[in-house]
Structure 1
Amino acid sequence: MLTLRNVSKAYPSAQGPVHVLRGIDLDLPAGQTLALTGESGSGKSTLLHLAAALDAADGGEIVVAGQSLVGMGDSARAQLRRERIGLVFQQFNLVPSLKVRENLAFQARIAGRHDPAWVESLTQKLGLSTLVDRYPEQLSGGQQQRVAIGRTLACRPDLILADEPTGNLDEETSDAVLKLCLDLVEQTGSAFLMVTHSPRLAGLLGRRIHLSAGRLA
């Protein structure tokens, strides 16, 4: 579902290019889960953004759901994200003018995958049933994070990319939300890549890799 081959990425600076990723090779088949760990600044979020087609690599090849991102235009990248990739980042990016129930269904409707029964099931499992008529500004940070995760899972993406997806949740809720993600992987055969600083959460996934100084270990 996700393949990286000899992927590199650098950013310009006044002192010259800063090499963030160096020769990254990674394989994440459908139905598997992978935790990506590493110190702050090691390149974890950059790798996730490249896999999500939000940024372009300087070298190497990235293949998502059988489609190479090399040379892919902006509209094709946007379509791939809309139809095949689920993103859970630290910024919630909820639509402030929409209530919780509408935010939960938003991405699935755009992708043409809206399933009211599935959205209702997610709403219950995420503990959001009493909040569906509220607007994002009326929610706590943890509640907003649960809505953001539910919105991503609602369209049953082929590849789920998560950057510290439970960082704003208490341990009990964090475990429940992660279990929901893992259940979805098992039910649908999607692939799940999660960036985390938590060894405990990383241990719940099928595999773990560590990124240090732009290289995988």
Structure 2
Amino acid sequence: MLTITDLHKSFETADAPMPVLRGVDMEIATGECVALTGESGSGKSTLLHLVAALDTFDRGSITLDGQEFSGMGDTARANLRRTRIGVIFQQFNLIPSLSVGDNLSFHARLSDRYDAAWQAELTERLGLSELVHRWPEQLSGGQQQRVAVGRAIAARPALVLADEPTGNLDEATGSAVMDLLLDLVAETQATLLMVTHSGALAARLNRRIHLRHGRVAEVAAA
């Protein structure tokens, strides 16, 4: 489903390019739920952004369902994000000028995959039925993250990427959000790649891939 080969990424600094990814190799099968772990600065978020087609890499390859990212222009990468990938950010990244209901349906409408029945089911299962007319600023952190999960799942993407999705939540709220995320990913038969610092959350997924200094240091069953 997802194949990453010899992936390199550096960022320019005042002195010299700073390598962040130094030859990452990994494969993730369709329907797998994989935790991406590692110390701060190991390249986890950078890798996730590259897989989300939010940035370009220096060399190597990323292939999603046979589609190679190398050489893609901005339009092609944007289309890939609309149609194949759902992203959940730690900081929620909801659109403040849209209601909860419109935030939930935003990605699905953008990809021309809006399904009113699925939207209603998601809204109910996420516990947001009474909040659809509110603004994001009127919600708690846990409610905002549930909206973010629903927005990512609404278009039924093949690949869901989550960057510390419970990092800003307390333990109980984070566990509840994780329950919802895993249930919805399983129901839609999506593949999940999740960055996390939490060993407890990583243990709930199928496998754990650990990065160290920009390389894969360990692959293990969760």
- TM-score, length-scaled by structure 1: 0.95
Shift of 1:92: 2.2
1:130 and 1:63 map into 2 onto residues whose CA distance is: 40
Structure 1 stretch displaced more, 174-183 or 47-56: 174-183
Structure 1 stretch displaced more, 68-77 or 129-138: 129-138
* Contact kept? 1:156, 1:184, Cα under 8 Å: no
2:93 and 2:164 map into 1 onto residues whose CA distance is: 15
The yes-or-no answer on 1:49 pairing with 2:49 is yes
1:22-171 alignment to 2 at 5 Å?
Answer: 22-171=22-171
Number of corresponding residues: 217
Change in 2 beyond 3 A, CA 1:173/1:141? closer
1:127 and 1:96 map into 2 onto residues whose CA distance is: 20
Q: What SS does the aligned partner of 1:129 have?
A: coil
2:166 and 2:90 map into 1 onto residues whose CA distance is: 9
Tell me which residue corresponds to 1:208: 208
* Contact kept? 2:142, 2:177, Cα under 8 Å: no
- CA deviation string 1:75-105 (max 9, x = no partner): 0100000000000112322222221111111
* Contact kept? 2:142, 2:174, Cα under 8 Å: no
Shift of 1:164: 0.5
Aligned residue identity for 1:37: T
**RMSD of aligned alpha carbons:** 1.4
Structure 1 stretch displaced more, 47-56 or 93-102: 93-102
Shift of 1:151: 0.6
Identical columns (%) = 62
Aligned residue identity for 2:22: R
Change in 2 beyond 3 A, CA 1:97/1:113? same
Shift of 1:33: 0.6
- CA deviation string 1:160-196 (max 9, x = no partner): 0000011223323322322222223322321100000
1:213 and 1:98 map into 2 onto residues whose CA distance is: 40
* Contact kept? 1:61, 1:70, Cα under 8 Å: yes
The yes-or-no answer on 1:172 pairing with 2:176 is no
